[in-house]
A and B are shown apart, each in its own frame.
Chain A
Amino acid sequence: MKKLVKLTSNWITLSTFITLALVMPIVLIIFNALGAQSETLTHLKETVLNQYIINTVILLFGVCFLALIFGVVSAYFVTFYEFKFVKFFAIALVLPFIIPSYILGFIYSDILGYYGIVHIFLEQQIGMKNYFDVLNINSVIIILALALYPYIYLIVKSSFSKQSGSLLNPALSLGLGKFKIFYKIILPLSRPAIVAALSLVMMETISEYGLVKYFGVDTLSTAVFTAWFGLNDPNSAAYISSIAMVIVFTILIIEKLNRGNAKYKAESISSNIKKIKANSLTQVVIISFLSVPFIFGFLIPIIWIINYSIENFHLVLDEEFFQVLINSFTVAFSASLVILLIAIILGYSGRVFENKYMKYLLKIATLGYSIPGAVIAVGVIIVASKIDTFFIDTFKVDGLILSGTFTILCFGYAVRFLAVGLNSVESSFEKIGINVNKASRSLNKSLLTTLFKIDLPLIKHALSAGFILVFIDILKELPATLILRPFNFETLATKTYELATIEMVQESSVYALCIVLISIVPIIFTLRNYK
């Protein structure tokens, strides 16, 4: 009956071990980077490293600027104006989320390339001979902005619609100009939301691998690959990874500092915002503007994918295609299960032991979500090779146990995507409240029994939603999969990428279609949440 005080924290001990394992790759990167010294690294520093950093920074600024315009202005029009097709655009503007940025890139390189329909059309119609090269940083900026602006659109739209009508309606009735209201009231009130959305866009931009690589733009993300595979120098890869992490953490700190200023939050949603009725000319302007991200971010790419899928279906639909499907589903299913199990252990410990230690532990465990996939993969490989070396040295094991295995790929996904699963678990725990858990414990049930009999049955729907979200994120993941996958192990993402890189972009459409069809599921969740 009597138990020592420290025994109550078995859950905390387990959570601590899991977190340590998950954070190990990140720690090892920093550790390796600190002592990194090699000829390759010196050479990189003297020659191209600066250019990689400059490219990454240019990308960051360019994508943020363009995504900000698409996202904020779209959210403003949809929230505050009454015009034709407003309901259609409210949903349509989220659709570019469905198409991963690297697939968007392959599609536009095909459409705008030398043999693309645009070039051929211009050549035939106006006799244009000069080939315009789209494989450059400007195209990457535009494509990434089209792929990522929905983050800003969704978050800012939600913030706009929460803004108090009691603040905006008097301003309107006082005859303040619409743009003055936008600058003076709406924008300052939504600043934390905008910064939060921007930080997500920035992290995705730094993480981007498939698109930048295909367009020949060298960033820190591609440099990690080059150092690892091209130059075969783990220390340089770790060093470059740590630079990417410094940028990510700087963004996170800025976002955190900005969010700390809660005074900017609109406090009430007491009265509805009176929408401005747009006249005909304004309607044309609004619809034209909103059509740009929708047409280029979704409509054209989806038509391209469907068109070439139909055309290439018979060529691709072979044994390999099904093997790729099985591979993708097996790895995504297994890793999602592992992630959900970890999320339940950590989320439940955080729920029951509500203290600062657990709060920080959960934050540390989910650090991987903000770190580029390629960087995590490098960290995971370092961990795997250290363990392998230990086994070979100590137990004289023949060959590698972990490196290049299915297990290590799942571990990599867990480091990267735990945040998605944990977020689902935590928010659903929050919704059911802690009292049902306490009630069960006061009725003589242990923490474990309570978890199985009360907490899990009550959050099972949210758990399945969380599982699906993690599953899809894994299915779409490219850079970490490229580095960590077992030899000759292809997934939908790697196959799409591989076909595109060997100039079989149109043949990759069937694989891209599979990814797009699966990606529709989280969009339905997102739309339901933001409604």
Chain B
Amino acid sequence: MKNILTLSNISKSFDNNKVLEEISLDIEKGKIISLLGKSGSGKSTLLNIIAGFEQSDSGSLYLNNKALFDNKVFVEPNHRDIGFVFQNYALFPHMNIFENITFGIDKLPKNEKQEIANNLLKMVHLEGYEYNYPHELSGGQQQRVALIRAMALKPDLILLDEPFSGIDSMLKHKIQKELLAILKESHKTAIIVTHDANEAMAMSDKIIYLEDGKIMQYDTPANIYNNPKTKRIAKSFGIANFITKNGQEYCIRPNNCVLSNKGEYKAVILNQTFQGDKYILEIQFDKNIFTMYSKEYISEENNFLSIEWEKSNKI
């Protein structure tokens, strides 16, 4: 598939602190990418560099094969055709929803603006809210307005900076689904910054895992979950057990562990916690303590069990 965005050797330092180091990346058209990392990993800086709010110290940045930044060119944010959805949405509080949505296309004729706004509002089920002000809308509604405001200019790429950070966890799942549906329906390419691995797995076609300003892994959610390249990545995406065999460390997910009578390692159950749909077991063998799942309670008399695993991957 055609690449829409290409980053080569992007580096950035603030006060001699390297925030981004030699970032190179290709993003395919129509894909939804999550930019995942802990706070301070450089993800917001990378997003700001793509949008043009920050200037990279070196490297190059191409959108649709057009240079946005290299050693000769710096295209300002207002000429990049990149949509941006901000954390807390950054809607203009002194403008109503219609004015917010049409802010970027205010030079178009009035009826054309009206048509675009109506279509966008319909897409996000906010018809009738044109003349409301941002503070009169719920968090979820505000977020949808922020998204269609960015889409009104028909950008090739939409950047979303922690779009779910201010949303109640009960509502989050619903809004994530809605946002994903809108992005997919409109065939947009999007980069979503998040620090939540579950959010990244639920939302994206591919995940960029950023650590200390470097890309540690760039892969599909399933591949990152099952084949994490580092211990830290493994831990970020859920419970991970680690074992060293012949000098090589392996990561084993709890769902890949099974208890049997013929396994290599004799195991003792230390603890069992009921979780409704499963039990979480804490198993000790040799000097290792593993976490695994069981559908049923394992009786105390069965403590002569052994543990084995179906899948492991080298770290």
Interface set of A (CB-CB < 8 Å, partner B): 1-5, 8, 356, 433, 435-436, 438-446, 453-454, 457-458
Contacts and interface: CB of A to CB of B under 8 A. Distances in A.
Given A435-B87, A438-B51, A438-B53, A444 B92 contact: no
Interface in B59-106: 67, 72-84, 86-88, 90-94, 103-104
A356 to B, nearest CB: 7
A445 B84 contact: no
Contacts of B267: none
B289 interface: no
23 contacts: A1-B75, A2-B67, A2-B73, A3-B73, A3-B74, A5-B73, A356-B15, A436-B93, A441-B77, A442-B77, A442-B80, A442-B150, A443-B103, A443-B104, A443-B150, A444-B104, A444-B153, A445-B103, A445-B104, A446-B76, A457-B94, A458-B92, A458-B93
Nearest to A356: B15
B31 interface: no
A241 to B, nearest CB: 36
B55 interface: yes
B82 A442 contact: yes
B83 A442 contact: yes
B149 interface: yes
Nearest to B107: A444
A444 B78 contact: yes
A446 B79 CA distance: 9
A144 B73 CA distance: 59
B74 A4 contact: yes
B149 A443 contact: yes
Nearest to A438: B53
A286 B301 CA distance: 77
Given A443-B149, A443-B153, A438 B75 contact: no
A445 B93 contact: no
Interface of B: 15, 51-53, 55, 67, 72-84, 86-88, 90-94, 103-104, 146, 149-150, 152-153
A145 B84 CA distance: 54
Name the residue among B77, B104, B150 with the largest chain A CB count within 10 angstroms: B77
A5 B75 CA distance: 8
A10 B204 CA distance: 40
A455 B255 CA distance: 53
B215 to A, nearest CB: 24
Contacts of B76: 3, 8, 441, 446
Contacts of B90: 433, 435-436, 438-439
Given A438-B84, A442-B82, 4 more contacts: A3-B76, A4-B73, A8-B76, A438-B86
Contacts of A435: 86-88, 90
A2 B53 contact: no
Given A5-B55, A435-B86, A440 B94 contact: no
- Chain B at the A interface: mostly helix, strand, loop or mixed? loop
Contacts of B82: 442
A291 B124 CA distance: 64
B130 to A, nearest CB: 18
A524 to B, nearest CB: 25
Given A442-B82, A445-B78, A458 B55 contact: no
Name the residue among B55, B74, B90 with the largest chain A CB count within 10 angstroms: B90
Contacts of A440: 92, 103
Contacts of B146: 439
The 6 closest A-B pairs by CB, nearest first: A443-B104, A435-B90, A442-B84, A439-B90, A5-B74, A441-B77
A433 B67 CA distance: 30
A71 B158 CA distance: 55
Contacts of B83: 442
B78 A446 contact: yes
B77 A439 contact: no
B53 A3 contact: no
Contacts of B152: 443
Nearest to B82: A442
A420 B2 CA distance: 55
A454 B73 contact: no
Nearest to B67: A2
A441 B87 contact: no
Contacts of A5: 55, 73-74
A530 B140 CA distance: 35
Contacts of A8: 55, 74, 76
Contact of B77 (A1, A356, A433, A438): A438
A356 B90 CA distance: 26
A445 B77 CA distance: 9
A454 B91 CA distance: 10
B186 to A, nearest CB: 17
B105 to A, nearest CB: 8
A436 B103 CA distance: 12
A359 to B, nearest CB: 11
A433 B83 CA distance: 19
A442 B51 contact: yes
A139 B167 CA distance: 62
B74 A439 contact: no
Name the residue among A356, A438, A454 with the largest chain B CB count within 10 angstroms: A438
Contacts of A356: 15
A439 B86 contact: yes
Name the residue among B79, B146, B149 with the largest chain A CB count within 10 angstroms: B79
A439 B146 CA distance: 9
A439 B84 contact: yes
Contacts of A443: 78, 103-104, 149-150, 152-153
Contacts of B84: 438-439, 442
A442 B103 CA distance: 11
Contacts of A454: 92
A441 B74 contact: no
Contacts of B72: 4
Given A436-B90, A436-B92, A439-B84, A2 B75 contact: yes
B14 to A, nearest CB: 9
A443 B106 CA distance: 10
A356 B14 CA distance: 10
B102 to A, nearest CB: 10
Contacts of A438: 51, 53, 77, 84, 86, 90
A482 to B, nearest CB: 44
A354 to B, nearest CB: 10
A457 B55 CA distance: 28
B190 to A, nearest CB: 14
Contacts of A444: 78-79, 81, 104, 153
A374 B94 CA distance: 44
A190 B1 CA distance: 63
A364 B79 CA distance: 33
Contacts of A441: 52-53, 76-78
Nearest to A1: B79
Contacts of A433: 88, 90
A453 B15 CA distance: 33
Nearest to A6: B74
Contacts of B80: 442
